[in-house]
Structure 1
Amino acid sequence: MLRQAIAAFCIIDDALKAMGHRDDPQAKVPTSAILTLAILAALELGGKHNKALALAKELHLFSYVPSPSRFNRRLRRAKPYLLPLLHLLSQVWKKLHTAQSYALDTFPIPVCENIRAPRSRLAPAKVYRGYIPSKRTFFHGYKLHLLVDDGRFICEVNLTPGSFHDLTSLLLLPLEMDEGKELYMDRGYESYLYEDLLKEAQGLVPMPIRKVRSRRYVPHMQYLAILGRRVVETVGSMLHHLFPRRIHAVTAEGFVLKVLTFVLAHNIRLIADKIA
């Protein structure tokens, strides 16, 4: 745990400096330390920030550990750096690992039980009501869209309300991949129009799992698509292993922030293991 915390602080501190971030001279703790504590909470403590602060005080990780209220304010101020930090880490990962293929998938993240959906404060609208076809059940919350390479690194991420279709990730994610790379997807992403656009505009090779009645159904290609898509299912299981039973948050902004810290924690752990 100490090794991961030190590696996370070094990676985040160098990344913030590369982005040109400068802390206020009066700040007692740098932004890199705030993000490191959030990453530590996501890796080891199920995203519980209070426990991460208490652990940091006990282990003397930093010379000054802020109070929970000040930590939350500083973490909210650092939220605009999370997605640029993810993009910068993906550029670092490309130098460590040459990806041959990518996989795209969507995972439901409920904010509460279905019976409590009408009085939910984090997701009060009906647009957050989604459906999981594999489980044949409804959920109330968000959808996490992930673009993963064959090294299990999360290259791109996005959050949408639960009722949004999976195909929205093809429109919301930039899909910054090298030309000629294969993109594995499940049946929810099957669209001849989008597939042709990906081929012509970005030079990608879409590999969706198709229905048997599809005009583009090829048996041996379906076998390859099923094998290639397993990596994103593995990443989803790794993230759910980090998630607590319910992600505790008071506001929707705090919920999204915690989900992004879990994604960053997964990527930072991969980079730390690769460097080591």
Structure 2
Amino acid sequence: MTEQTIAIYCFIDDFFLSIGRKDDTHCRLSDAELLTTALVAARFFYGNLHSACAYMREHHGVQMIDKSGFTRRLHGLREQLMALFLALGQSLRQLNTSSRYQIDSFPVAVCDNIRIARCRLLRGEGYRGMCVSKRRYFYGFRVQLIATEGGLPVAFYIHAGSFADVTALKAMPLDLPEGSCLYADAGYTCYEVEDLLAECDGVELRACRKSNSTRADKPHMAFLKNYYRKRIETTFSGITGLFPKKIHAVTAEGFILKLILFIFAYTLNQVIE
């Protein structure tokens, strides 16, 4: 745990030094220490910031600030947090010599269906989605995730639960290297998107075909699609395994921020190990 904490801090601090970011001289807690604490909370304490702050203070001598100030600064560093993940994702894409990627989504419920009418975090039917694999509805967000062949996340996109996978794919910036193959299930079937990706980005979208598809696959291609797309389910299990029984948040922005921290913490853990 100590070694991973130090590795996370070094990664964040080196990134801030490379972009020329400097802390305010009056700040008792540096930005690198604050983001390290937030990621440690997501990795080891199920997102509990209070426990992570106590650990960083007792075991690493970090001078902590009050909870409200910590939360405000963490929200203010959201862009820097995303820039960190983008830089890490770009490095992982460069190291992925197989050029094979997987895309899929997993739901994150904010509350149970019976409590939708009393939910204060979200409002509207746009957040009600259907989880086909579990044959149940949920109310919350859906996370679109792109991972390498080995299951390392390189990009993600969080949207309302009612959006279909293929709709989210159209809005999601892929930024994959030319010549890449992106494996997906039948929910991402869209011939127009496949043609545009192949023509404009040089990326081949290999979505599993439905029984009535006009572009039916040959047996060997159907086998490859089913084989390569299933590894991402293990990644989903690893990310959701970091979740507490209920993700506590006061605002929708805070809930999304915690989702970002869980995804980032899982990715760093896989890279460090």
Instruction: Give the TM-score taking structure 1 as reference length.
Output: 0.94
> What is the CA deviation profile of residues 63-113 of structure 1, one whole-angstrom value per residue up to 9, with x for unaligned ones?
312222221111111112121111111223345443420011111000011
> What does the per-residue CA deviation read over 1:201-253, in whole Å, with 9 as the maximum and x for residues that have no partner?
11111111111221222232121111111221111111011111221111111
Corresponding residue number in structure 2 for 1:71: 70
User: Residues 92-136 of structure 1: CA distance to partner in whole angstroms, max 9, x if unpaired?
Assistant: 334544342001111100001111111211111111011111222
In the other structure, the counterpart of 2:117 is 118
Alignment of 1:225-244 (within 5 A): 225-244=225-244
CA distance in 2, matches of 1:200, 1:75: 40
Contact 2:105 2:142 in 1 (8 A): yes
Aligned AA for 2:112?
E
* Residue 130 in structure 1 maps to residue 167 in structure 2: no
Q: Does 1:159 align with 2:179?
A: no
Contact preservation (8 Å) 1:99, 1:151: no
1:231-270 matched pairs, under 5 angstroms: 231-270=231-270
- Report what 2:32 is aligned to: 32
SS in 2 for 1:147: strand
Q: Matches of 2:74 and 2:23 in 1, distance apart? A: 13
2:9 aligned residue: 9
Identity, in percent, stands at 38
Which shows bigger deviation, 189-198 or 170-179? 170-179
The residue aligned with 2:212 is 213
Partner of residue 56, structure 1: 56
Structure 2 letter corresponding to 1:20: G
- Which 4+ stretches in 1 moved above 6 angstroms? none
Q: Which ranges in structure 2 are unaligned for 5 or more consecutive residues?
A: none
SS at match of 1:242: coil
Q: 2:241 aligns to what SS in structure 1? A: helix
Number of equivalences: 272
In 2, the alpha carbon distance for the partners of 1:215 and 1:96 equals 36
CA separation in 2, counterparts of 1:133 and 1:55? Answer: 40
CA distance in 1, matches of 2:19, 2:243: 29
Task: Supply the distance in 1 between the matched residues of 2:57 and 2:19 (Cα, whole angstroms).
Answer: 29
Give the letter aligned to residue 81 of structure 2: L
What code does the residue aligned with 1:112 have? C
Q: Is the Cα–Cα contact under 8 Å of residues 101 and 181 in structure 1 kept in the other structure?
A: yes
Note the C-alpha offset of 1:153: 1.8
The CA RMSD measured in Å over matched residues stands at 1.4
SS at match of 1:23: coil
